[in-house]
Amino acid sequence: ATITIQADKPLHKVSPMLYGLMTEEINYSYDGGLYAEMVRNRTFEHDWSGFEHWTLVEQGTGRARFEGSRTDGPTVDLPSSLHLTVSAADAQNPAGIRNDGYWGMAVRPDTTYTGSIFAHVVDGTPGVLTVSLVNDNTGKVLATTTTQQLNGDWKQYQYVLKTDKLPAGSVGSQNHLQFTLTSPGTVDLQLPSLFPPTYKNRANGNRADLMDMLAGMHPHFLRMPGGNYLEGDVPEERFNWKATLGPLQNRPTHRSPWNYTSTDGMGLLEFLEWTEDLNIEPVLAVYAGYSLKGAHINAGAALKPYVDDALDEIEFVTGDQNTKWGAIRTQLGHPKPFPLHYVEIGNEDEFDRSGSYDGRYKQFYGAIKQAYPQLQLIATTPVKSMTPDVIDDHYYKQSGEFYAMLNHYDTMDRNGPKIFVGEWATREGSPTTNAGAMLGDAAFMTSMERNSDLIVMASYAPLFVNVNPGGMQWSGDLIGYDAMTSYGAPSYYAQALFSQYLGTDVPESQKSGGSDRVFYSVTTDAAKGKIFLKLVNGTTTPQPVQLQINGAKLAREAQVETLSAATQAETNSITDPRRIVPVHSVLKGVNGNLQHTLPPLTVQVITFSM
């Protein structure tokens, strides 16, 4: 193939927000994922079969039993508790309960873990609660402490667990947390919690390794919260942001459409702080009166409470301290408003067969634009009665399907709505995607960059998966993890490279000849004096590429990042996390007419200096 670039002839600007993040509570993305809470089922959900993830501890002659108390809890939002009766216990023979965490608990040496629990004494004088991190296999106590004396009122007890050097074989995730008594008595317990050090040391914060990985993608925005999670199966199970604010004991939790309960520890303010920590912008998704099982609220008076709720939400994000919801945000510890340019009205409303979205979008649009004319409002599907500012397109495809649609946006009307590709992925490989998917994704990104006058934003989905058995509801994800470690699919690195090496303008260019499985995109940054050329070889053979770069005086050396695979099935995994990662090299003897060979199954970024 010959690729000709006219570096001094910009065709259009690159959208400055092109690459971003989309997440939702799926595949244990927050609970058991980014949200660093280590205790699973901390609100003691239970049914006839028991309390998932909680079991008895009876050491030696220690004896205990527990059951649910549906009527006694520390707050109206958490009105139930675990009722623990210890009938026999002493210092050598403690009894109580243990929690096995989200597929274990990662315990590291010389680390401080902070936590708390609500408790009140129902009967007897049980004294203090002993809180310990214990190795599953050896029974060794890795860190331990006691609470203050328990008493008859509901009270929150704080604790700190500090590990020292750990015994050989104890570093890992095969650990659990125990709450035991050393005197008989009956106590009600609620909201046990334990956090490791978090990203930027935020209380109630995020896992540092996963935040580092997100930062490594060089994103510009977070669609929050995206996907089905926003809608819920039924309206009562939507992401009801007002129920996710404030102290954890004031968050009732809710069932999510991916069939597990969300702790709502990742609430609206935590989402916003996440954007702040990555120095990115929220793209706020508001519930728009349609839920997955088909319930919809027609435009008009019935929809008004939801529209008002969205207006309140926007005020919570952007309002100053003199506004009602800005003042509430201030009380919650964040006086500074967050930046906001985009609001998305609903999610995948094309599935609403009633046709109510047209009216719903229009009503939200009217009310939001009146209060916030500067905001861009994203429709989740085309509407007939008006022209939305932006439309959210979703693509889940095989690499071959992406290859076949790379010209989809080339001829689209530039006077209509802008495009947000709010969810997209090449779904090849599981749990995370493979090298074939990396090629499909990279090819699609070349077309998005070429059309980035139209496509204002794009975000891959799903971003996260907990790779433990039962952790995945949707295969083909970007970042995999267990309690202890995390890794990126090959495509993670392709996306990181595409976002890191992105110019401000798309110059004139063309490709002639060569394989139809060789793709490219080129952007320039005149201020930085750079040309970024992305090349994708979707074939299994080396591909010669003649690079003709006109309109620039090029430095003799260019920097190259190469992501190559031996087969399309090759991939990264929890046990082989860095099999396919970018390899840096230097291209010497650069001139305006360069013969280059692209290795098979490869994504390459070449940075030329001008």
For ligand AHR, which is the closer residue by CB, 288 or 531?
288
Q: In DSSP terms, which residues pair with 116 in a beta bridge?
A: 158, 193
Q: Which is closer to ligand AHR, CB of 115 or CB of 462?
A: 462
Q: Which residue, 159 or 424, is less far from ligand AHR as judged by CB?
A: 424
We find the least distance from the C-beta atom of residue 45 to ligand AHR, in angstroms, to be 23
CB of 347 to ligand AHR, least distance (A): 5
Bridge partners (DSSP) of residue 425 are 396
Query: What is the contact mask toward ligand AHR in residues 168 to 187, using x (rule: CB under 6 A)?
Result: --------------------
In the bound complex, what is the minimum distance in angstroms from residue 243's beta carbon to ligand AHR? 20
Interaction of residue 461 with ligand AHR, rule CB under 6 A: yes
Contact status, residue 427 vs residue 397, Cβ threshold 8 Å: yes
Q: What residue is closest to ligand AHR based on CB?
A: 227
Q: At what angle are helices 324-331 and 304-318 packed, to 10 degrees? A: 50
Task: Report the interhelical angle of 268-278 vs 304-318 (nearest 10°).
Answer: 40
Q: Would you say 203 and 196 are in contact if contact means Cβ atoms under 8 Å apart? A: no
Nearer to ligand AHR, 365 or 474 (CB): 474
CB closer to ligand AHR out of 134 and 292: 292
Helices marked H in 62-181 — which ranges?
none
User: Contact, 441 vs 434, CB < 8 A?
Assistant: no
Residue 231 beta carbon to ligand AHR: minimum distance, rounded to whole angstroms: 8
User: Per CB under 6 A, does 24 bind ligand AHR?
Assistant: yes
Name the nearest CA neighbour of 393 among 437, 459, 340: 459
355 by Cβ neighbours in 10 Å (0-12 / 13-18 / 19+) ranks as: exposed
**Nearest residue (CB) to ligand AHR, 192 versus 388:** 388
Which residues neighbour 310 within 8 Å (Cβ) at sequence distance 6 or greater? 286, 287, 288, 343, 345, 364, 367, 368
Q: How far is the CB of 145 from ligand AHR (least distance, A)?
A: 41
Under rule CB under 6 A, residue 265 binds ligand AHR: no
- Identify whether the C-beta of residue 283 lies closer than 8 Å to the C-beta of residue 339: no
Residue 31 or 315 having the CB closest to ligand AHR: 31
Closest CB to ligand AHR among residues 269, 461: 461
- Whole-number minimum distance, CB 350 to ligand AHR, in Å? 10
Determine if residue 296 is left, alpha or beta; phi over 0 gives left, psi from -120 to 50 gives alpha, anything else beta: beta
Q: How far is the CB of 348 from ligand AHR (least distance, A)?
A: 5
Measured from the CB atom, the residue of 228 and 524 that comes closer to ligand AHR is 228
553 class by beta-carbon count within 10 Å (0-12 exposed, 13-18 middle, 19+ buried): exposed
467-496 residues in contact with ligand AHR (CB under 6 A) are: 474
- By CB under 6 A, the residues from 215 to 254 that bind ligand AHR are 227-228
Q: Please count the CA atoms within 13 angstroms of the CA of 26 that sit on its side-chain side.
A: 25
Residues 278-317 vs ligand AHR: string with x where CB under 6 A?
----------------------------------------
Q: Specify whether the CB–CB gap between 92 and 80 falls below 8 A.
A: no
Comparison of 347 and 491: residue with beta carbon closer to ligand AHR: 347
Q: How far is CA 51 from the centre of its chain?
A: 28
Backbone phi and psi for residue 312, each to the nearest 5 degrees, phi listed first: -60, -40
**What is the distance between the alpha carbons of residues 48 and 163, in angstroms, rounded to a whole number?**
37
Alpha helices in 319-376 (DSSP H): 324-331, 357-371
The least distance separating ligand AHR from the CB of residue 23, rounded to whole angstroms, comes to 9
- Beta strands 112-124 and 155-162, pairing class: antiparallel
26 or 439: whose CB is closer to ligand AHR?
26
Provide the minimum distance between the beta carbon of 464 and ligand AHR in the complex, in angstroms, as a whole number: 11
CA 310-315-316 angle, to 5 degrees, is 95
- Closer CB to ligand AHR, residue 430 or residue 539? 430
- Which tokens belong to 493? 């690195």
Interface of this chain with ligand AHR, residues 70 to 89, rule: CB under 6 A:
none
Rounded to a whole number of angstroms, the minimum distance from the CB of residue 457 to ligand AHR is: 15
Q: Of the candidates 185, 205, 440, 462, which one interacts with ligand AHR according to CB under 6 A?
A: 462
The structure tokens listed for 101 are 């965490």
The answer to whether the CB of 74 falls within 8 A of the CB of 191 is yes
Smallest gap from residue 258 Cβ to ligand AHR (A): 8
C-alpha to C-alpha distance for 355 and 383, rounded to whole angstroms: 10
**CB of residue 388 vs ligand AHR: minimum separation in angstroms?**
18
Is the CB of 44 or the CB of 481 nearer to ligand AHR? 481
Instruction: Enter the DSSP assignment of 555.
Output: -
Placement of tokens 């890992």 in the chain: 172
Q: Which residues inside 389-428 make contact with ligand AHR, applying CB under 6 A?
A: 423
In the block, which residue shows the tokens 């009205």? Answer: 345
Number of residues that bind ligand AHR (CB under 6 A): 10
Q: In angstroms, rounded to a whole number, what is the distance separating the alpha carbons of residues 130 and 181?
A: 6
Nearest residue (CB) to ligand AHR, 315 versus 423:
423
* Nearer residue to ligand AHR within complex by CB, 218 or 394: 394
Q: How far is the CB of 476 from ligand AHR (least distance, A)?
A: 9
Between CA 114 and CA 104 the distance in angstroms is: 17
Give least dist CB 352 to ligand AHR, A: 13
Structure-token pair, residue 295: 């319930």
Distances (CA, A) of 242 to 42, 77, 252, 258, 339: 20, 13, 11, 21, 20
Find the binding residues for ligand AHR in span 338-377 (CB under 6 A): 347-348
Closest distance of CB 228 from ligand AHR, Å: 4
Question: Site residues (CB under 6 A) for ligand AHR?
Answer: 24, 26, 227-228, 347-348, 423, 461-462, 474
